[in-house]
C-alpha cells in the first residue's frame, strides 16, 4: 500500500506538485494521467525516494520513504522516464548488477531467467545494451525494475518512443504484472490508461483533478456528443434538416467528399442520444447514411471537462 | 556497496579508462623515476616520491572524473538512488573502486625500483654505493596511498557536482594543484600567521618529512581527514540534491 499525504514539491516559486493526497491499495493498477509538465514524474520520483518532498509524507507499506528508506525502497521497483541502463554492459551483466545492488538472496540464475522470460529478452541476454533497439532497452529497464520481485512497480511513461507493436506488447506485459504486483504508471495518453489501468488519477499543474475507477472515468468522459457522419444527399438540405432536429447543437460540413456524399461534424446536447433519430430522419428523406463514428475527445478537452465538472461540484 | 565496487572495476577494464589510467600512471612514474634517480646517479628516492605527488595530481582525476558525472548524465544515478542502499554505501563503493585502481597502479609502478636494487650495492655509474633505503620506500608508499586517498575523495566530490566529465577533471586538477602549491608562496608572505596556516594546509609541505625518512603521523592524520571530509561532503551533495 502506498500512502501519500499532502505532498508538495516546490521549485523556486513554482509548485510542481501541490498538496496531493491519495492511497494506492495492494493489487491495483493505477494510471497517472496528465499532460507534460503536470507533475507526474516529480510525484513518481518522490514516491521512489529519488527526490524528497518540500512537505508531506510518502509511506510504502508503513515505511516512510525518507526515514526508513532502505526497507521502503526494497518494496519498490522503479523504471524512470529514461531507463537507467549502463550501455557498456551486456543485458545479463546489467541484470546481475541490479540483482546484487538490491541485495537479493534467492537463486540468481533462476530469478534472472524468469525475469528475462517474462519481459521476453532471453534472446538478447548476451548482447551489449548499447546495441539494442529502443524497445528492447525499455524492456531491459522493466526487467531491472522487476528484479527482486518488488511488491510495487512504478513505471514512468513506459511506452514513450516505442512503435505501435511494442506499445501493445508492453501494455500486455503491464496488465500481466498487475496480477501479482501493485502497478503505478504514468502517461499522457488516455487510451493507455483506459486500456491498462483499474483506476485513473488525473493530474494537472500539480493538482489532482480526478481520481476514479476506470469504468466511472469512462462514463464521465465518454458521453459522446460529437459524431462524424457521412451522408449521401444534397449538402445544403442535409445541413438544414439536421439543424432543425431536436437536441442538435451544431452541424458543420467537415469537407471530405466521396461522390455525392459529404461528411458532417454533428454535436448534440448532453444526455441525448441522437443516433437513432438521425438515422430515421435521413431514411425518411431517402439520403443514405454511409458512415458514423464518434469523435473522441482530446486530452485537453477532457481536462477542461474535468476541471469544469470540479468547479460545478464546488 | 560491493555490487557498485564490482561494477566500477568491471567498467574500468571494459572501457578504455582503466587502461589509459594505468598506462599514463606507469609512463609518468617511470619518467619521473628515471629523471630523479637514475639520470643523476642516486639511489635516494626522496625526490621521486615528492614528484609523485604531481603525478598523482594528473592521473587520479582521470579515475574520478566520471564516477558520478557519468551516472548523472546518463541518469543511471536514478537506479542507484532508488535502490535499497544508503548514500554512504553508494559513495564508498565508488571511492573504494578508485582506490583499488590506484593501488594496482602503485603496485605496478614498483617495478621502477628494480634498477636501483639491482645496481645500487655494486659501485656503478648509475647509482651511488649507498644501498636504497627500504624502510624509506615503504614509508613513502604508505604516505602516497594516503595522499592518493585524499585526492580521490576530492575528485569524487567534484565529480558529484557536475555532469560534465571534462569540467570535473579540470576543476579537480586545479584544486589539487592549488593544495600542492599553496605552501610555495610562503616566502612571499610576511605575516607569520598566514604562513603557518598556508603551510599547514599545503599537502606538499606536509609531505616533505616523508622524503627525509621521517614517518609523520600528523601528516597521515591530515590526509585521512581530507579524505573523510570530502567523502562526507559528497554524501551531503546527494542528500541535499533530493531537496533541491
Question: What number is the ipTM of this complex?
Answer: 0.87
Q: From chain A, pick out residues whose CB is under 8 angstroms from the CB of B243.
A: 52, 54
Mutate to test the interface with A, among B6, B79, B80, B243 (most CBs of A within 10 A): B79
- Per the model's pLDDT, the better-predicted residue between A72 and A221 turns out to be A72
Q: Do A101 and B80 touch (CB under 8 A)?
A: yes
pLDDT band at residue A300, thresholds of 50, 70 and 90? low
Q: What number is the average pLDDT over the span B208-212? A: 84
Q: Which of A53, A109, A105, A44 is nearest to A78 (CA)?
A: A44
**Searching chain B, which residue's CA lies closest to the CA of residue A145?**
B79
CB–CB contacts below 8 A, A to B: 71
Q: Do A100 and B74 touch (CB under 8 A)?
A: no
Q: Do A73 and B86 touch (CB under 8 A)?
A: no
Between the alpha carbon of residue B224 and those of residues A91, B154, B158, the distances in Å are 39, 12, 18
Share of chain B above pLDDT 90, in %: 57
pLDDT band at residue A20, thresholds of 50, 70 and 90? very high
Of residues B6, B74, B86, nearest to A70 (C-beta):
B86
Name the average pLDDT for chain A: 87
- CB contact, 8 Å: B243 with chain A? yes
> B12 vs chain A: nearest CA distance in angstroms?
11
What pLDDT does residue A314 have? 44
- CB contact, 8 Å: A51 with chain B? yes
- CB contact, 8 Å: B83 with chain A? yes
What pLDDT does residue B127 have? 46
The C-alpha cell at B17 is: 579508462
> For residue B242, is pLDDT > 90?
no
pLDDT digits (tens, 9 = 90+) for B18-68: 999 999 999 999 999 999 888 887 778 888 998 999 999 999 999 999 899
Of residues B15, B81, B83, nearest to A102 (C-beta):
B83
Distance CA B42, CA B218 (A): 29
- Most distant CA atoms of chain A, gap in Å: 76
Under DSSP, the state recorded for B36 is I
What pLDDT does residue B118 have? 78
Q: Domain locations in chain B?
A: 2-242
pLDDT digits (tens, 9 = 90+) for A196-248: 899 989 888 888 888 888 877 776 666 667 888 888 888 888 888 888 888 88
- CB contact, 8 Å: B16 with chain A? no
Q: From chain B, pick out residues whose CB is under 8 angstroms from the CB of A87.
A: 74
Q: Do A101 and B77 touch (CB under 8 A)?
A: no
pLDDT band at residue A311, thresholds of 50, 70 and 90? low
- CB contact, 8 Å: A304 with chain B? no
Of residues B75, B84, B85, nearest to A80 (C-beta):
B75
> For residue A306, is pLDDT > 50?
yes
**Searching chain B, which residue's CA lies closest to the CA of residue A84?**
B76
- CB contact, 8 Å: A92 with chain B? no
Q: Do B242 and A98 touch (CB under 8 A)?
A: no
Phi and psi at A104, nearest 5°, equal: -75, 150
What pLDDT does residue A277 have? 87
> For residue A312, is pLDDT > 60?
no
Q: What number is the average pLDDT over the span B129-158? A: 88
pLDDT digits (tens, 9 = 90+) for A30-44: 999 888 888 899 999
Q: Do A101 and B6 touch (CB under 8 A)?
A: no
Q: Do A80 and B78 touch (CB under 8 A)?
A: yes
- CB contact, 8 Å: B240 with chain A? no
Q: Which of A156, A220, A167, A223 is nearest to A195 (CA)?
A: A167
Q: What number is the average pLDDT over the span A261-282? A: 84
> B76 vs chain A: nearest CA distance in angstroms?
4
- CB contact, 8 Å: B78 with chain A? yes
Q: Do B84 and A84 touch (CB under 8 A)?
A: no
pLDDT digits (tens, 9 = 90+) for A108-154: 999 999 999 999 899 999 999 999 998 899 999 999 999 999 999 99
Q: From chain B, pick out residues whose CB is under 8 angstroms from the CB of A98.
A: 79, 83
Mutate to test the interface with B, among A41, A95, A101, A155 (most CBs of B within 10 A): A101
Q: From chain B, pick out residues whose CB is under 8 angstroms from the CB of A103.
A: 3, 84-85
Model confidence, pTM? 0.84
- Per the model's pLDDT, the better-predicted residue between A181 and A267 turns out to be A181
**Searching chain A, which residue's CA lies closest to the CA of residue B85?**
A70
- CB contact, 8 Å: A78 with chain B? yes
The C-alpha cell at A269 is: 446536447
pLDDT digits (tens, 9 = 90+) for B65-117: 989 999 999 999 999 999 999 999 999 999 999 999 999 999 999 998 888 88
Q: What number is the average pLDDT over the span A152-172? A: 89
Amino acid at each position: 500500500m502506498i500512502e501519500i499525504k499532502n505532498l508538495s514539491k516546490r521549485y523556486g516559486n513554482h509548485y510542481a506538485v501541490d498538496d496531493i493526497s491519495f492511497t494506492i491499495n495492494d493489487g491495483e493498477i493505477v494510471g497517472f494521467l496528465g499532460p507534460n509538465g503536470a507533475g507526474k514524474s516529480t510525484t513518481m520520483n518522490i514516491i521512489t525516494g529519488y527526490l524528497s518532498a518540500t512537505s508531506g509524507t510518502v509511506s510504502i507499506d508503513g515505511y516512510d520513504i525518507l526515514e526508513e528508506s532502505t526497507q521502503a525502497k526494497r518494496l519498490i521497483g522503479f523504471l524512470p522516464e529514461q531507463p537507467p541502463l549502463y550501455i557498456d554492459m551486456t543485458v545479463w551483466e546489467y541484470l546481475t548488477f541490479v540483482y546484487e545492488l538490491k541485495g537479493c538472496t534467492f537463486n540468481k540464475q533462476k530469478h534472472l531467467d524468469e525475469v528475462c522470460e517474462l519481459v521476453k529478452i532471453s534472446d538478447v541476454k548476451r548482447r551489449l545494451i548499447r546495441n539494442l533497439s529502443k524497445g528492447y532497452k525499455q524492456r531491459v529497464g522493466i526487467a531491472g525494475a522487476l528484479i527482486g520481485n518488488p511488491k510495487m512497480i512504478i513505471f514512468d511513461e513506459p511506452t514513450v518512443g516505442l512503435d505501435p507493436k511494442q506499445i501493445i506488447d508492453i501494455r500486455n506485459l503491464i496488465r500481466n504484472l498487475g496480477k501479482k504486483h501493485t502497478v503505478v504508471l504514468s502517461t499522457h495518453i488516455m487510451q493507455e490508461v483506459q486500456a491498462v489501468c483499474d483506476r485513473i488519477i488525473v493530474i494537472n499543474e500539480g493538482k489532482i483533478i480526478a481520481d476514479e475507477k476506470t469504468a466511472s472515468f469512462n462514463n464521465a468522459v465518454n458521453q459522446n456528443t460529437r459524431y462524424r457522419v457521412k451522408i449521401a444527399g444534397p449538402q445544403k438540405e442535409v445541413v438544414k434538416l439536421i439543424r432543425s432536429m431536436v437536441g442538435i447543437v451544431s452541424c458543420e460540413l467537415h469537407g471530405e467528399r466521396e461522390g455525392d456524399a459529404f461528411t458532417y461534424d454533428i454535436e448534440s446536447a448532453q444526455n441525448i442520444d441522437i443516433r437513432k433519430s438521425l438515422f430515421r430522419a435521413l431514411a425518411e428523406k431517402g439520403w443514405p447514411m454511409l458512415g458514423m463514428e464518434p469523435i473522441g475527445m482530446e486530452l485537453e478537452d477532457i481536462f477542461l471537462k474535468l476541471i469544469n465538472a470540479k468547479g460545478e461540484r464546488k | 556497496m560491493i555490487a557498485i565496487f564490482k561494477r566500477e572495476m568491471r567498467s574500468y577494464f571494459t572501457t578504455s579508462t582503466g587502461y589509459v589510467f594505468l598506462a599514463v600512471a606507469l609512463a609518468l612514474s617511470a619518467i619521473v623515476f628515471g629523471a630523479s634517480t637514475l639520470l643523476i646517479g642516486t639511489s635516494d628516492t626522496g625526490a621521486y616520491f615528492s614528484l609523485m605527488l604531481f603525478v598523482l595530481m594528473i592521473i587520479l582525476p582521470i579515475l574520478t572524473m566520471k564516477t558520478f558525472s557519468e551516472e548523472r548524465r546518463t541518469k543511471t544515478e536514478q537506479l542507484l538512488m532508488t535502490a535499497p542502499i544508503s548514500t554512504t554505501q553508494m559513495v564508498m563503493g565508488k571511492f573504494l573502486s578508485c582506490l583499488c585502481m590506484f593501488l594496482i597502479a602503485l603496485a605496478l609502478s614498483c617495478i621502477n625500483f628494480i634498477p636501483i636494487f639491482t645496481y645500487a650495492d655494486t659501485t656503478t655509474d648509475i647509482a651511488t654505493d649507498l644501498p636504497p633505503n627500504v624502510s624509506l620506500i615503504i614509508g613513502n608508499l604508505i604516505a602516497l596511498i594516503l595522499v592518493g586517498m585524499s585526492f580521490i575523495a576530492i575528485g569524487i566530490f567534484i565529480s558529484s557536482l557536475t555532469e560534465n566529465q571534462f569540467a570535473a577533471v579540470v576543476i579537480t586538477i586545479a584544486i589539487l594543484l592549488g593544495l600542492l602549491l599553496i605552501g610555495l608562496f610562503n616566502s612571499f608572505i610576511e605575516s607569520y600567521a598566514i604562513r603557518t596556516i598556508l603551510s599547514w594546509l599545503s599537502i606538499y609541505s606536509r609531505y616533505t618529512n616523508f622524503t627525509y625518512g621521517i614517518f609523520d603521523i600528523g601528516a597521515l592524520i591530515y590526509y585521512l581527514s581530507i579524505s573523510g571530509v570530502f567523502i562526507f561532503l559528497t554524501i551531503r551533495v546527494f542528500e541535499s540534491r533530493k531537496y533541491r
